[in-house]
Structure 1
Amino acid sequence: MTPSVLKVKLGANKIDAVLINKNTASSVTNVEWNCLSLKQSLRRSAISFAWCCLFLTSGCAVTPETLCPNGQKPAINDLLYLGTATPKGIVNPEDWLQFLKISVTPRFPNGFSFWPAQGQWQSNTGIIVYEASYILNLIHPNDGKNETAVNAIINDYRQHFEQEAVLRVQSPVCTSLNKL
């Protein structure tokens, strides 16, 4: 059997294919196909494949509702990282507690947690800043009312303590509160 090579050249509207016999280096055949129908066929196949993938995976979405075990409810866990360095000094513990009383407690009267932390971040000027901070932990239903409340707390803190930024980390969680 004589070894042969098929050389294919793709053009804008055609495909040239040449079958070459390796022993004689002669062209055995030169075939030209019209690509338009091939391109249309490939395009239709790709679109059909994309729609099938979308349809088949649409029922596979995982939401917190599907992940929460019996007795637990889906919620959002917001962690706010609130720096204490201000142009006038630092946010002292009395100022912090006053802020909680005025801005956070009315919006989350059912409760929240906070703790002091140390951290670093890069300012708008590119300088690495080390500072004490507070982390405020808010767990709440995923709704517009609570989203507005969290954004209001962030804006209040930034304005009141002249902060360049507040970091917000938001995660879906499952919650349960076991009372006596």
Structure 2
Amino acid sequence: MLRLLIGCTVAATLAGCAALPAPACLPPSRPMLSAELAFGRNIGDRPGVSDADFRRFAAEEITPRFPDGFTVVDGAGQWRDTERGRVVREKAKLVTIVFAEDAGKRAALGEIAELFKRRFSQQAVMVSVRPSCVSF
């Protein structure tokens, strides 16, 4: 399982390095990237990442890398644990970050995912990046 996760992480990271075509945006929107990260809150088979734990993680790791802001919402998800052959359902924190194309910002997404996995003994953090038309 660990080899599969490492392989998927490497493939996703390399795929994320490819330049995405900028969408044709109508004013006042402009082309940017929208990243979504899904952080599971179980540690093993039990709930373990509290709201306070996640707020602290966001303040220490996400905010310094994305000081312009991000959105956090509560969610619920499921995934197949291939080591145990069962579906796992758990609460999650979903983070959306919008930013201009920047290799450093893309790398920061991977750093955040790795830091969360290490800190909270997670197998994976989903990271998805797509082009968007954005206005503020």
Aligning the two structures, in what range does the TM-score lie when normalised by the shorter sequence? 0.7 to 0.9
Identity among equivalent positions (%) equals 26
1:80 alignment counterpart: 37
2:92 alignment counterpart: 133
Could you tell me which runs of 5 or more consecutive residues in structure 2 were left unpaired when the two chains were aligned.
Answer: 1-19
> What is the correspondence of 1:8-157 to structure 2 with a 5 Å cutoff?
63-65=21-23, 67-87=24-44, 89-125=47-83, 126-157=85-116
Could you tell me which runs of 5 or more consecutive residues in structure 1 were left unpaired when the two chains were aligned.
Answer: 1-61
TM-score by length of 1: 0.60
Post-superposition shift, 1:70? 2.5
Q: Is the 8 A contact 2:33 2:131 kept in 1?
A: yes
State the Cα deviation string for residues 94-140 of structure 1 (Å, max 9, x = none).
10100001000001111000111111110131210010011011111
Residue 27 of structure 2 aligns with an amino acid whose one-letter code is N
Could you say which structure has the larger radius of gyration?
A: 1
Q: 1: CA distance between counterparts of 2:29 and 2:21?
A: 14
Give yes or no for the alignment of 1:173 onto 2:126. no
| CA-based RMSD | 1.6
Post-superposition shift, 1:142? 1.6
Residue 91 of structure 2 aligns with an amino acid whose one-letter code is A
